[in-house]
């Protein structure tokens, strides 16, 4: 009797899947990315149309107020700020949109004699109010004393913050906060000047207040 074992066929080893080449990887990711972009572009127009429809459906209101001595009645979106009402609806662009967050003071105007950041003030809440902007300070060709003082003291450089500085300075004088240079700086601190003209601005307020010749 033979004692030899039958010869078994050897199973070939299973080779691990080969790692993708750099060219294959780039081609695959590019194709997937392109599909995502195309899908996003396809969804864009309906989303944009929905936003526009929502904007058109936003409620609006009539508001009547006196701006620089002239009675004005306008219809605005209930979310419209006083700053946008002045600039976009009444074409009074002297008040500037700086930070649009109430931090720089470039949009300062007077509402019933009180200075406010017009970018944070809703127009629909000002029914019957009296608003004074930089355009309303001069009397014809005669500048307001503080406007003239800004020229005399060279209290501006780029001019972007100047309208807000002047309106705030007018309120500062009317409020009686001009007893000293330190007091003026304190009560004008909400108005930022990126050019650093603070010393000259303080001198201009002093001049208009009659404390400086």
Exposure letters 41-52 (e unless 16+ CB within 10 A, then b):
eeeeeeeeeeee
* pLDDT tens string 5-19: 555 555 555 555 556
How many helices and strands (H and E) does the chain possess?
6, 5
- Cβ atoms within 10 Å of 137's Cβ, excluding its own: 19
**CB count, 10 Å around CB of 188?**
21
Kindly report the pTM of this predicted structure. Answer: 0.73
pLDDT tens for the chain, 213 residues: list them: 555 555 555 555 555 555 656 666 566 555 555 544 444 544 456 666 666 665 566 689 999 999 999 999 999 999 999 999 999 999 999 999 999 999 999 999 999 999 999 999 999 999 999 999 999 999 999 999 999 999 999 999 999 999 999 999 999 999 999 999 999 999 999 999 999 999 999 999 999 999 664
Cβ atoms of 65 and 127 within 8 Å: the answer is yes
Among 96, 207, 200, smallest CA distance to 157 is for: 200
DSSP character at residue 124: G
The span from the CA of 75 to the CA of 88, in Å, is 12
- What pLDDT digit, counting tens, does each position of 160-188 carry? 999 999 999 999 999 999 999 999 999 99
- For residues 89 and 74, the answer to whether their CB atoms sit within 8 Å is yes
């Amino acid at each position: 009797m033979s004692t030899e074992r039958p010869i078994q066929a050897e199973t070939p080893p299973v080779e691990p899947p080969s790692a993708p080449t750099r060219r294959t990887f780039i081609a695959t990711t590019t194709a997937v990315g392109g599909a995502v972009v195309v899908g996003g572009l396809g969804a864009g127009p309906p989303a944009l149309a929905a936003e526009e429809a929502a904007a058109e459906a936003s409620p609006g209101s009539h508001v009547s107020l006196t701006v620089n001595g002239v009675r004005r009645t306008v219809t605005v979106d209930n979310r419209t700020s006083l700053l946008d009402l002045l600039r976009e609806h009444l074409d009074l662009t002297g008040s500037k949109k700086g930070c649009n967050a109430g931090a720089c003071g470039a949009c300062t105007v007077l509402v019933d004699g009180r200075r406010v950041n017009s970018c944070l003030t809703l127009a629909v809440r000002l029914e019957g109010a009296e608003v004074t902007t930089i355009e309303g300070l001069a009397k014809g060709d005669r500048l307001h004393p503080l406007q003239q003082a800004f020229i005399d003291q060279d209290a501006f450089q780029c001019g972007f913050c100047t309208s807000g500085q002047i309106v705030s300075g007018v309120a500062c004088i009317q409020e009686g906060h001009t007893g000293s240079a330190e007091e003026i700086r304190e009560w004008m601190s909400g108005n930022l000047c990126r050019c650093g003209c603070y010393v000259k601005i303080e001198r201009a307020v002093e001049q208009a207040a009659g404390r400086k010749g």
